[in-house]
Homo-oligomer: A and B are copies of this chain.
Amino acid sequence: MDLAKTLEDPRLLPLLPSIYVAWADGELSATEMTTLCDRVDEIEGIDVDCKEALGAWLNAEEPPQPNDLAALLSTIRRMAAGLAEPERLDLASLAAEIVYTARPGSPLRAPEARAIAEIESLLGVMGPELTRSILQVPSERTEVDASPSFDPASLGRFLDGPRADIRGRMRRLLVQPRFRYRHDISRDDYREVVLAWTKEIAERGIGPIGFPVEYGGEDSMSCFIGAFTVLGHHDLSLLTKVGVQFGLFGGSIARLGTKRHHDAYLEAAGNASLLGCFAMTETDHGSNVRDLETMAVFNRTTDEFVITTPHDGARKDYIGNAAKHGTAAVVFARLLVGGEDHGVHALYVPLRNESGETLDGIRIEDCGPKIGLEGVDNGRIWFDGARVPRTALLDRFASVDDEGVYHSDIPSPGRRFFTTIGTLVGGRVSVGAASISVAKSALAIAIRYATKRRQFGAQGEPEIVILDYPTHQRRLMPRLAATYAYHFAFEQLIDDYVAGDMDSRVLEAQAAGLKAYGSWHAIDTVQACREACGGAGYLAENRFGALRADADVFTTYEGDNTVLAQLVTKSLLSDYQLQFADMNVLGTIRFLATKAFESVREAAPAIGGADERHLRDRKWHLDIFRWRSDHHVSALAARIKKRLDGGMESAEAFTAVQDHVLATARTHIEYLVLDRFAAAIATNENEDEREVLNLLCDLWVLTRIEHNRGWFLEHGRLSAGASKEIRKLAIRLSGEVREQARPLVDAFLIPDGVLAAPIAR
């Protein structure tokens, strides 16, 4: 067989670099060759001819001749010549890029990419070094750190967990020069760049990856959220646009609509040929969406819904994709059928025609400049009698039949509404998890800088590396520990969400709480990191400005944090079998306030000793965090009961004790985070990694106890001596974490090109 001829087969394209590498290193062992062929076999769409060609290339008996290899190499180089900065790519990304330019319209599919990544690891090579050697680019100077106690790449794989594949793919995509940050362009151009990025993510199959296979997806919300967390390191306008397009717009069609809607829109939403909005919020109603005022009145004669904005305060507001790109929207409106108000429902409403003009009955305005996310076109929408057919109602939970009669299997309008909203919990899971990515980026930048930056020192000596200052350690190390803690909590949350077997109320409460406290942690961390870099931190190129301005909104959208935190506590109160919002509220509260309180008191864990062994005992940590949370719940119940007994309404009573409601939410979420962190550590099989993770976990717990030590002291759970000891220990452990700080941020696997800050080099 003429090997050189096979080089023209487009199906072989993605494999060329791998083939070259397989031979370039000297002869491969026969077993290696076999494994290689096996992997290749798994690639979809490879036909017999193609396999034959491959077999010939990988035939250990009859290895390719030097001139074959030369032809192969020059083919690869020719193709790579079209790429900007190919030397930054690893093998799989190089293949992906070659395919993307040479085989337009049929990008590398997930299985192909996976096979190549596996080949790469099989060959024992990783990263751009290999590509550099193929393309003969001199390698970059890489800094060598003081020997870390663990392997950051391996810990990175552990953090990636079941989503390692998709995360790797996403990272490789984002280092492409096309994805370079663009802050040098106008707002309008920026929006177009973000749109182009979004489309590429669609085309690469990542956007729709959570959709059913029959609509171009891979039915994997795990992959979608996994990819989303990696986007959290990149431009957050892109993250938001992707979230709106595939998560909110596509997701609500998928979850609130039925087959009719799926058939009509899902594939187009997934490949981004149909761009859409999620139009819930109104100017007057953001947190309280149950009282939205947009009306969708059913007209029996025309068999249509007529959608109207009754007054200016009821215009849709802050709607992503609305100002410019969206051609349709999932609109939340009160459904009025036969004069009866059935509460808020979702409808599919076209907004613009193909030339981008707004349709009859629709008026749209730009929201104007925002603090951040300027790459997203947020807008306001007014409806003035816009008409949509009856079938526009996304009718998974309620429908209007041919006779114009409203039906729903869920009898109570309140419960119907919360079921509708509940299906959208994925947005909170995603945004919460992505906020932790932001914290990781900020820490990676600040910690790398702090391991090199020097300031002050004894005469004649080199100045001190700023990360060696105890204050610097106290500013950054507990936040690094907390970031690890939240990482694992979110990984578990994603798994639980994807598995779908958790009680939906519990899942929603966890998502709400982790999103709230996670995003607060993130913006606090960004600020601390910015300050930790001094003047250099204030330069835009070092990215804290964008990180903070963009991530700031994480505390507001997908639910305001203060409001979300209250959901956590509401769910805790109703954990005791009875619904807080129901008739039985009095009963629940009475129960909690008396019986439960007794048992909480009895279950009190031992008073903390002041010795290190005790203070670092994980079981004690779990016990007191759990107890603190339980104690808060029952003390809260007692407070509410007092007010109910005094004749207050339950909602009013709940509001009156709001401060305790929030404290309760925080203690519960901290328990949850600790529980997840501890559980995740136990699953790690590498002792060195377990050790450093346990160190982080200790530091996190102790910092939290230190922060809240007033409460523990008040409630007799800490002696004054133990309390002081905890502070000392937290300081000391910050110093210990500092020794591993650089490899610990390396394990976040944020590609340099995505991190991008010059001071983080």
* A369 and B714 contacting across the interface, CB-CB below 8 Å: no
Q: Is the Cβ of B370 less than 8 Å from the Cβ of A539?
A: yes
Smallest CB gap from A540: residue in B: B369
Q: Does A197 contact B (CB under 8 A)?
A: no
Checking B649, B715, B720 against A714 with a beta-carbon cut-off of 8 angstroms, the contacting residue is B720
Cβ of A742 within 8 Å of any chain B Cβ, yes or no, is no
> Can you name the residue of chain B whose Cβ is closest to the Cβ of A656?
B470
User: Looking across the interface, which residue of chain B has its beta carbon closest to that of A560?
Assistant: B534
Interface pick from A25-33, A107-115, A286-294, A394-402: A286-294
Which of A201-209, A228-236, A455-463 contacts the other chain? A455-463
Task: Let me know if A183 is at the binding interface, CB within 8 A.
Answer: yes
Which residue of chain B lies nearest to A553 when distances are taken between CB atoms in the complex?
Answer: B538
Residue in B369, B469, B724 whose CB lies within 8 Å of A539: B369
- Over the window 503-543 of chain A, the binary record of Cβ atoms lying under 8 Å from chain B Cβ atoms (1 yes, 0 no) is 00000000000000000000100010011001101111100
In the complex with contacts A535-B317, A714-B720, A540-B370 CB distance below 8 A: yes
Name the contact of A474 in the complex, choosing from B540, B557, B659, B710 (C-beta under 8 A). B659
Which residues of chain B are near A649, meaning CB under 8 Å?
458
Q: Which of A56-64, A214-222, A427-435, A544-552 contacts B (4 or more CB under 8 A)?
A: A544-552
Contacts of A454 in B (CB 8 A): 284
Q: Contacts A456-B287, A531-B555 known; A183 to B369 CB distance under 8 Å?
A: yes
Q: Mark A697-740, 1 if CB is under 8 A from B, else 0.
A: 00000000010011001111000100110000001000000000
Bound: A657/B735 CA distance, A: 12
The one of B368, B464, B658 that contacts A541, using a Cβ cutoff of 8 Å:
B368
Q: Are B370 and A287 in contact (CB under 8 A)?
A: no
A522 to B122, CA, bound (A): 55
Tell me if A471 counts as interface (CB < 8 A to partner B). Answer: yes
Residues of B within 8 A of A555 (CB): 531
Cβ of A662 < 8 Å from any Cβ of B? yes
Partner among B463, B531, B541, B714 whose Cβ is within 8 Å of the Cβ of A713: B714
Bound form: Cα–Cα A458–B291 in Å: 11
Which of A291, A472, A534: most chain B CB closer than 10 A?
A534
**Cβ–Cβ contact A538 & B562, under 8 A:** no
Can you name the residue of chain B whose Cβ is closest to the Cβ of A472?
A: B562
Contact for A544 among B318, B371, B456, CB less than 8 A: B371
Q: How far is the CA of A576 from the CA of B534 in the complex (A)?
A: 32
Task: Check if A455 sits within 8 Å of B287, measured CB to CB.
Answer: yes
Indicate whether A404 reaches chain B with its CB closer than 8 angstroms: no
A714 to B705, CA, bound (A): 14
CB distance from A553 to the nearest CB of B (A): 5
Q: Check A4 for interface membership: any CB of B closer than 8 A.
A: no
Interface members, chain A 669-723 (any B CB < 8 Å): 706, 709-710, 713-716, 720, 723
Contacts of A458 in B (CB 8 A): 649, 651
Question: In the docked arrangement, what's the CA distance between A287 and B533, Å?
Answer: 11
> Interface residues of A, CB < 8 Å — how many?
71
Query: Which residues from B are CB-within-8-Å of A463?
Result: 288, 291
Give chain B residues whose Cβ lies under 8 Å from the Cβ of A471: 562, 658-659, 661-662
- Find chain B residues with CB under 8 A from A658 CB: 469-471
Which of B285, B372, B455 makes the CB contact (< 8 A) with A288?
B455
Given known pairs A474-B659, A649-B458, A655-B470, the reply for A535 and B523 (CB within 8 Å) is no
With most chain B CB atoms within 10 A of its CB, the pick from A527, A535, A720 is A535
Closest chain B CB from A675 CB (angstroms): 24
Task: Flag whether A281 is at the interface (Cβ < 8 A).
Answer: yes
Please indicate the chain B residues that have their CB under 8 angstroms from the CB of A629 in the complex. Answer: none
A561 touches B531 (CB 8 A): yes
Q: Does A492 contact B (CB under 8 A)?
A: no
A285 contacts B724, C-beta separation under 8 Å: no
> Once the chains bind, are B470 and A541 in contact (CB under 8 Å)?
no
Q: A318-B535, A556-B535, A658-B470 are in contact. Are A369 and B541 (CB under 8 A)?
A: yes
On whether the beta carbons of B540 and A557 are closer than 8 Å, the reply is no
In chain B, what residue has the closest Cβ to A547?
A: B371
Contact A538 B371 (CB under 8 A): yes
CA distance A469 to B659 in the complex (A): 9
Q: How far is the CA of A553 from the CA of B367 in the complex (A)?
A: 28
The verdict on A535 contacting B724 (CB below 8 Å), with A651-B458, A710-B713 known, is: no
> Do residues B731 and A723 form an inter-chain contact, with CB atoms below 8 A?
no
Chain A, range 439-462, C-beta contacts under 8 Å to B: 454-456, 458
Contact check, B534 vs A556: say whether CB atoms are below 8 A apart.
yes
Residues from chain B with a CB closer than 8 A to the CB of A464 are 655
Q: Are A716 and B720 in contact (CB under 8 A)?
A: yes
Residues of B close to A369: CB separation below 8 A: 183, 539-541
CB contacts (< 8 Å) of A561 on chain B: these are 531
Q: Return chain B residues, CB-CB under 8 Å to A716.
A: 720
In whole angstroms, what is the CA distance A701 to B718 when docked? 25
Q: Are B371 and A281 in contact (CB under 8 A)?
A: no
Question: How far apart sit A713 and B714, CA to CA, in the bound complex (Å)?
Answer: 8
Bound complex: CA A472 to CA B548 (Å)? 23
CB distance from A445 to the nearest CB of B (A): 13
Measured CB to CB, the nearest residue on chain B to A731 is B659
Contacts of A723 in B (CB 8 A): 710, 713-714
**CB contact list, A271-288 vs B, under 8 A:** 281, 284-288
Complex formed: what's the CA distance from A656 to B735 in Å?
A: 11
Specify the chain B residue showing the minimal Cβ separation from A730: B659
Q: Do B731 and A545 have beta carbons less than 8 Å apart?
A: no
Set of chain B residues within 8 Å of A537, measured between Cβ atoms: 556
Contact B539–A368 (Cβ < 8 Å): yes
Among candidates B372, B540, B651, residue contacting A545 with C-beta atoms closer than 8 Å: B372
**A395–B183 Cα gap in the complex (Å)?**
45
Q: Are A549 and B552 within 8 A (Cβ)?
A: no
- Taking CB atoms, residues of chain B closer than 8 Å to A556 are 531, 534-535, 537-538
Shortest Cβ distance from residue A89 to the other chain B in the assembled complex, whole angstroms:
28
Known: A455-B285, A710-B710. A371 touches B523 (CB 8 A): no
In the complex formed, the residue of B with least CB distance to A662 is B471
Which residues on the B side are within 8 Å of A372 (C-beta)?
A: 538, 545
Give complex CA distance A509, B392 in Å: 68
26 sampled A-B residue pairs with Cβ under 8 A: A183-B369, A285-B455, A286-B535, A287-B455, A288-B455, A288-B456, A288-B463, A291-B463, A369-B540, A369-B541, A370-B538, A371-B545, A469-B655, A470-B657, A470-B658, A470-B659, A471-B661, A531-B561, A531-B562, A534-B556, A706-B710, A709-B710, A710-B710, A710-B713, A715-B720, A716-B720
CB-CB nearest 10 A-B residue pairs: A371-B545, A369-B540, A709-B710, A713-B713, A710-B710, A470-B658, A714-B720, A288-B456, A471-B658, A318-B535
| A interface with B by C-beta (< 8 Å) | 183, 281, 284-288, 291, 317-318, 367-372, 454-456, 458, 463-464, 469-472, 474-475, 523, 527, 530-531, 534-535, 537-541, 544-545, 548-549, 552-553, 555-557, 560-562, 649, 651, 655-659, 661-662, 706, 709-710, 713-716, 720, 723-724, 731
